[in-house]
Amino acid sequence: MRALWYVRPGRLEWREAPEPRITDPAAAIVRPVAVATCDLDGWILRGEIPVPGPFPVGHEFVAEVVDVGEAVTGVTPGDRVSVPFQISCGRCAPCRAGRTGRCRSVPAGSAYGMGPLSHGLQWGGAVADLVLVPYADDMCLPLPAGLDAAALAGLSDNLVDGWRTVAPYLSGPDETSDARVLVFGGGSGGLYAAGIAAALGAEVTYVDQAESRCAVAERLGAQAICEPAGRKYPSHPIVVHTSKNQETLRTALLSTSSAGVCTDTGIFFNGDVPLPLLEMYTKGVTFVTGRIDARAAMPSALDLITSGRLDPSPVVGETAPWDQAPVAWAEHTGRLVLTRT
């Protein structure tokens, strides 16, 4: 079968790969029908972070179930499912506690499509004819009929990454009485955060120097400020930082109000980052960073979509047919979704 491999910055190619087989009764084989580029994929593609190739790509995807092991009861062939980018068994102590990104049944960081960052060669990538899902009942999330697969591809990663930055603080026991959200954009994660916050009724300000992303943020219900984030903004109780710029992160922390929370989804590969710890301490700021536990958050994010409160489709910048994957993936500048029937 064919699988798309990242070779070096700006270069991808189809390669032959072994066809997956079910050797465990808990596994399933799926056929990807929509695969989105993650913000991380773009950084790797442009050589902005040190991830050497070659490795198979793709980790945000919607797929159709092709075959299941005899122990699988939650999905059947023909079902359309969202598959989280992280491999998780659903049964170990971390998985049962909702920390599905820290599963103890697989090597730490196991995921699809991120190569040396996450044992990607073992699990392969989603831009492939077929993909093995080792724990089908616990990983696959069935999708209702009629939903756009391209719009839902991000449910595997970036969409739920945006969800966790705002939703826990706008609903539930930690609900804030001051529902104002400040988002510092830099990719699709920030747009998802802005759209989800707006869907939950928050007053959202979105800051980004990219006019195209600012336009999308406004379509999602945010007020956009199109400028580099080089100044302190009015304090907000909920702040989201999604770039990999150290100064923007500092600005985000300084713009977090007393007893507020700032969540960072950016990844800093260039070493330690200085933080304004004295001001954070004085104000009692909560700082959250780390990988999303994707599978645990996916049902809540999907509910927001199926209820009609959130339409994630504006975040999809461009689509391309499956056979054009090597060129489309190499040349994309925004959010790309590869699709096939």
Contact assessment for residue 336 and residue 315, using Cβ atoms and an 8 Å cutoff: no
| Same domain, residue pair 173 and 304 | no
**What's the burial of 275, exposed, middle or buried (CB within 10 Å: 0-12/13-18/19+)?**
middle
CATH number of the domain at 63, please.
Answer: 3.90.180.10
325 pLDDT higher than 90: yes
| Same domain, residue pair 63 and 141 | yes
Q: What would the pLDDT profile of 251-293 be if each residue is shown by its tens digit?
A: 999 999 999 999 999 888 877 899 999 999 999 999 999 999 9
Q: What would the pLDDT profile of 153-174 be if each residue is shown by its tens digit?
A: 999 999 999 999 999 999 755 5
Q: What would the pLDDT profile of 74-91 be if each residue is shown by its tens digit?
A: 999 999 999 999 999 999
pLDDT-derived band at 175 (thresholds 50, 70, 90) equals low
Average pLDDT taken over every residue of the chain:
94
For the whole model, what pTM was predicted? 0.94
| Same domain, residue pair 284 and 309 | no
| Same domain, residue pair 153 and 193 | no
Per the structure, how many domains does the chain have?
2
CATH number of the domain at 262, please.
Answer: 3.40.50.720
Length of the chain: 341
What's the pLDDT at 230? 77
| Same domain, residue pair 195 and 148 | no
Taking the CA atoms of the chain, what radius of gyration do you get in angstroms? 19
The residue segments making up the domain with residue 151 are 2-157+292-339
52 pLDDT higher than 60: yes
Contact assessment for residue 212 and residue 224, using Cβ atoms and an 8 Å cutoff: no
What's the pLDDT at 172? 55
CA distance 198 to 52: 38
| Same domain, residue pair 305 and 273 | no
CA distances from 88 to 39, 92, 156 (A): 22, 9, 13
What one-character-per-residue DSSP string does 220-234 give?
Answer: TTPEEEES---SPPP
| Same domain, residue pair 34 and 143 | yes
| Same domain, residue pair 147 and 12 | yes
| Same domain, residue pair 178 and 214 | yes
